[in-house]
Each structure stands twice: as structure tokens, then as C-alpha cells.
Structure 1
Amino acid sequence: MSKFLDLKFDSWRYITIKFNQYRNLEISKEYLLNDGYHSLYRNEDFEMDDSVIAMFDVSKYRIKDVQTIILHELHGVIIEARTTKQLMNEIYRINGLGFFMSKSLAKIFRVTRYIPFTHAYLVYMPVNGNSRQNTDWIAPHLVKRAEVIDKILHVVTVGGDYFQVDFTKGNFEKRMHDVSLLNESSFLLMEALIKIGNCNVTKPQELGLFRTYEKCECDKHLEMRTKSQDINFMVLAMTEHLLLNLGIEMIEKIELVKYYSHHLARLKRIY
């Protein structure tokens, strides 16, 4: 157990839930596909937003027009015909960048697996499986507490709702540590850019699970905080990541980076 996390629960047997259509239950994917299925509904106009708490991948169950179950702060629990992968691929509509920021930061800070979507304090984390596949997702910024017991992740949301999802791969605390690293880096970079323009940016009052990791003083966090506030370093590193992922043959990539980095540097000047 990490010294930064206090995730113990008194009991999971007396949990109640306030998701719109469910009461006195800790909901799970299995419950929702069986006894709880009759209470699910479809939101025909649903689009990804910053109020999605979790997404359950149910594509393997081959239910007609049901690929995903969404837990939402406002809509409750709804079914969706699109897969979790399709929904996450549409998240660029929120910030215009999609996963570009997340992938760039992951490359810079050597996070190689289970890449989350992160845009300051809007974060979606894959629970099991590769983020490029259909998998379950949770929003750590909307989670107050979480604990893995016998390969099941038990979650309490910031709104006081409860749910569980299988967690079969890796160590949750280590995974959250990596996600928090990218989350804080994204915020610090944006903060540094905005401060130059004589403006201020503040963190949300509710940080969810990230509040715990704000205190982390490990070497990776200290390195990240230094680099993330160095705008020149971050711009160059993200530019290099972009250029190296343009589908150019490896033998030409280094020269490509040198060539375009030179021309991009010229764009920063008035001539």
C-alpha cells in the first residue's frame, strides 16, 4: 500500500448507490447485463464530455446495438452502440488535440503502457488492456477512493456513487502514479504558457484521486515538474515526437527532424 494512498473501506456489503436508476447497489458490468439490464436506457444524443465517470466495454457479449455501458454524472447509467475505442477516439472534440498531448508526454516521461487521455485535470485511464483496444475506462478526477480486492477494482466516485470493475493487469497504485505524472505535467505546461500572457490558471477544487499524488516527491515527479515548466524544452520535445510519427522511413527520420526543426524555429521569429 502506497504511503500516499488511504484506500481502506470499512465494508463493501453496505454500499448504496445514487446513480439515477439504481439504489442500494454496488453496480458492476455483470449486474448491469443481468438483473439490472431492464433499468438501462439509451441517450440517442450522447457525445463524450467531461462528466463521464467510467465506460464498461461489453462488446464481447454481442448484444445488439450495445457495445458500451457508460456511467455518467448527469445521465446516470446508459447504453451506447459505439465501442469504448470509438468513443475515446472522438474525445478530440473536447480539446481539439485528442491523444496527441497524452502520447507526447508519455514519450517524454517514459510511460510506455496503458496510455491515458490527459488534458490537465480531464483524464481517462484504461483499466485493462491496451488503450488502442476496446477496454474499460475510468476518470480518476471523478473518483474519490479506489481499492483493488481479489482483482476487482472497487470505486467510490466524488459524488458518492459506487461501482466495481475487473482489474486483472498490473498494480493499480503504480498505474495511477504514471497517470498522475502525465496529468500534472499537462497542467504545469499549460500553466507556464498562460502565465506568460499575464493570466492565471487554477486547479479545480475537486481533484479526485490526483490529490494524493500532488504530494509525491519521487525522482520521476521531480524531473517532470522541472521539465514541464521549461517551455522551450517541452515545445522541442513535443515537436520532435510529432515529426517522428509522420510515417517517414527510420533512416530519414533524423534528417527530417533536423530540417523541419530548423524551419519551425524560424517561425518563432519575426523574420
Structure 2
Amino acid sequence: MTVDAQEEFVAWLRAKGYSEGYVRRVLAVGKAALNRAWKRQEVTEVPWIELPPIGEPYPHTASDDQLAAFLNAIPEDSHLWAYCMIRLNTGCRDDAARDLQPFQIDWAANLIRLNPEGRQQTKKYRPVVPLTATLRRELEALDAAYYVNWHGRHIGSIKKAWAKVRRNAKLPEWFAPKVFRHTVATELRRRGVPHWEVSGQIGHKRAGTSEIYAKFDPDYLGAARTALDAWMADLSRKVPRMRGQSGVSHLRKVVGGTRIELVTPTMSR
């Protein structure tokens, strides 16, 4: 584990085409393992591991047309549909979507606990987020131990299924699963959601002691919830399978006002 050996390893990873972020994560895992062994007195000393600089953030976001093309290319019986609906309506990471189970849904409070009870939080924080009207309708129709499943079994990876759908939708290679999270954050800001709500929605802001009970406020992340449902309503115009799933059918002007009011299914009857 000399400096020369580390540099050769880093060069080998880069030559294989891995991103700077991935190279850094690989070395960080090794560094953490060595430090743990030293802490537990399994070794008497550990080498210094030089981590590469933090890479640039993922630069891509998807347009509504690209999202619609991908969603419309998903086969009727594919587990990717539930996966995409969860990610687009929560802004969560890949593993949180694949791991989501019915007991994590608080139907009465309209909340999703992305971090199940008993699981220790990590640096990739899983927050409690609002259950949008769109996602509620999707999940209510599913009956399985895991919402994202293949014949009832937990999905370990969606990479192969994703790649096939992406090719069928004629989308670029950068259209990877992580584009959803970046697109959700960008769309929320574009729709005027305050930055602190966006941070809370995607898990960049950890709940402090004074915020433990905030999630039970009826307006908890209310702007984010409203914006997500409105966005899903816009997407549904291009994705037939989504029609009727959004809690918002369209927008109309308020008589005598300058605002716009979201029309609920009840109001539109």
C-alpha cells in the first residue's frame, strides 16, 4: 500500500473509465476498512491513503420529453414503473426506492419513512417525505412485500432493465437512474419551492431535535408536495399510463384573482 501502489491503482481505475467520484469512493471504502482494523487493534499501523479530489457534481437533468419517452417505453409488467414513480415523487436514491416496503407508509399522515425502523442512518440520509397524491394512488394498487419487485422478490439491481428501456426510448447514455434525483431537485426549485424544503425532500438536510415532530404538521414540506403533484400532472399529458393517477388534473385561473389554483378531482367534477 505504498504511495506508488496507490497511484497505480487509481490510474488503473481511471483507465477502465470510472468517474472521479467512483474512484474516490473505492479508495474511501478501503481507507475506512483499514482505519477500523487499526481502531479494533487488529493491526498495529495503517498506511496513509490519499483520496482523489471530489469530482464535479452530476451535470445532467432530464427534460419532460425525455422522462416521458422513458416512462412510455417501460413494459406493462416491468418493475421499473413502480421504481420510477417512487423516485420521481420522492427524490430518493436508488436503494431507498428498491427497499421501500408497505410498513414504511403512514397512510393516515400521508408520509413515507424512507429509512425503515431499525436501519441506522448513514451519510446518505433517508428522510421522511410527504406521500404525494400521485404516488399514493400508485402504491395503493400494489400488493407485495416490496413495491419494486420481480414476482414478489426484492430487486437487487435495475441496471439491466434500465439499460434496455433507455435504448428502446432512444435516450443518451448519460440518462442513468441518478438523473431522476437531480431532475427532481431542479424541478422543485424551478417551481419556486424554497431551498430548505428541497433540501428536506431529497435528504440533504437532516432533521434536528426540534424538528422531530415537524413531519406531523399538515403543511410539512407542503410546497414540495404540491409542486411534485403538479409536475406529475404535467407529465401525465405525455404519459397515458399516468392519467388519472395525479391528484391534480389541470390548472385554472381563480376568478377575480391573479393566482392559479390547483384543481383536485373533487373540484373538477
For this structure pair, what is the TM-score category when the shorter chain's length is used for normalisation? under 0.3
**TM-score, normalised on structure 1?**
0.27
**TM-score, normalised on structure 2?**
0.27
More helix by share: 2
Max Rg structure: 2
RCO (CA 8 Å, sep 6+): is it higher in 1 or 2?
Answer: 2
